[in-house]
Chain A
Amino acid sequence: MSALAPGLLGYTFRWSIVPEVMGELAHGVRITLELSGLSVVFALALGLLVALARGSRLAPLRIAAYVYIQLFRALSLYIYVLWIYFGIAAAVGVNLSPLEAGVIALTFLNSAYMAEIYRSALGAVDRGQHEAAFSLGFSRPRAFATVILPQAIRVAVPSLVNQFVDIVKDSSIVAIVGTSDLMGVTTQLVGYYRAPFELYTVLAGFYLSIVLLISAAAAVLERRLQRHLR
């Protein structure tokens, strides 16, 4: 009982295959989420280090961080993945799996964006807060931890979540070098079933759902964090 419906231009849609492939697609989703999740966690941490370097009082650290950020922001993930998967692997002599190359590329690339987000969030905290904390005798690290950082985090969360959404979407690129994430699985299925329209439409739907879910969760998180700030 395949839902055969003639398309506008004589194409017969084969939506019936969709239920059949759900299992494999679900597996692909898991890989995508693992890939994205790992990358975002590493990128958050690495980005924080870079942001601290960017704001440090030592000029060489500041400059190095600046160059790092500008360099990575100019690259596209695809080129970076190719460069790491083929280029760096050959040069350094290691054999990276596509997934590993993907995580590395996503991590480094996004650490630059995270660093910028941290920087602007820190800058968004009112100068007066620094003044109040110092005038009370807080040392720099204490003032940062108790007064500045908590406020900066609340400002940074929306942008950080956007970045996470971008990571999830970009992770599809890693499929080109052969991972079995959501995109990769779908491409394989298209090769088997020869129904690219149906399958890629479903694929788009999957990504869309993931993105909408994350955005909704983020909105809830934002509301809770911003409760007392304005």
Chain B
Amino acid sequence: MIGYNANWNPVFQHWHEFLLGAWLDVWVTLISFVLACLLGVAVALLRLSGLRLLAWPAFAYVQLVRGVPLLVFLYWVYFGLAIVAGLAFSGVEAAIVALTLTGSAYTAEIFRAAVSSVDRGHPEAATALGFTRRATFVHVVFPQALRIALPPLGNTLVGLLKGATLISAIGVSDMVFQAQQINLSYFTPFEPFTAVAVLLVALVAVVSLLLTGLERALRLP
């Protein structure tokens, strides 16, 4: 670096705030992920129902949500929806709504594909044995679909974690916000953003490792 003196002190002084901010990012992501999965399963079931009346709106929903950037959702909910509904969303609430919406487009597609790719023969065998349609789905198809869906769902979780780094744009005090604050207060642009980048890489690495472990644990012999 040409004559730049790195000053890491502000970063170290505020390490506590950084970690709290990172923790905020993490649990916003987790909540959104769970909600996105629930919503995704619902949408996937609609699409798989075979009834045009239900399937088509579900399909349109996925196409719509996939075509809009996360940042637009964030602003739309936090500024737009809030004004129309006369409510005041907190940054965190708006973030969770936006992340859930974005995530649901991916999870819906993942679940749909996973259920579709379960071997035809298995539900056939179950029906032949006398299972009801609901029981077949719950006990035969869904468990297998879940295993198939796990890797791409893991990717979605990581994607949401990365998306969560945007929430500082609507004022949430996450780790990115902390970095920006330090930059503003101490005029040291390089260090805090490097710290945040390192934190994010570490978080993603940890999550990825956990996911790989989970996949391996659930793998059938």
Q: Which of A88, A170, A196, A198 contacts B75, CB < 8 Å?
A: A196
Against B, the Cβ 8 Å flags (1 = close, 0 = not) of A5-44 are 0011111000000000000000000000000000000000
CA distance A76 to B4 in the complex (A): 25
B220 within 8 A of A: no
Residues in A105-157 with C-beta less than 8 Å from chain B:
none
Instruction: Enumerate chain B residues within 8 angstroms of A196, measured Cβ to Cβ.
Output: 75-76, 79-80, 83
A79 within 8 A of B: yes
Instruction: Judge whether B76 and A208 touch: CB under 8 Å.
Output: no
Q: Do A11 and B83 contact each other (CB < 8 Å), given the known contacts A78-B176, A204-B76?
A: yes
Instruction: Judge whether A88 and B166 touch: CB under 8 Å.
Output: no
Q: How far is the CB of B178 from chain A (nearest CB, A)?
A: 12
Instruction: Judge whether B3 and A203 touch: CB under 8 Å.
Output: no
Against A, the Cβ 8 Å flags (1 = close, 0 = not) of B188-213 are 01110110110011001100000000
Q: For the complex, would chain B's binding face be called helix, strand, loop or mixed by DSSP majority?
A: helix
What size tier do the contact residues of chain B reach? 35 or more
Instruction: Judge whether A173 and B71 touch: CB under 8 Å.
Output: yes
How many residues on A have C-beta within 8 angstroms of the other chain's C-beta atoms? 45
Instruction: Judge whether B69 and A169 touch: CB under 8 Å.
Output: yes
Against A, the Cβ 8 Å flags (1 = close, 0 = not) of B1-28 are 1111010000000000000000000000
Residues in B71-119 with C-beta less than 8 Å from chain A:
71-73, 75-76, 79-81, 83-86
Instruction: Enumerate chain A residues within 8 angstroms of B68, measured Cβ to Cβ.
Output: 169, 204, 207-208
A197 within 8 A of B: yes
Interface-forming stretch among B44-52, B59-67, B126-134? B59-67
CA distance A130 to B71 in the complex (A): 45
Q: How far is the CB of B113 from chain A (nearest CB, A)?
A: 14
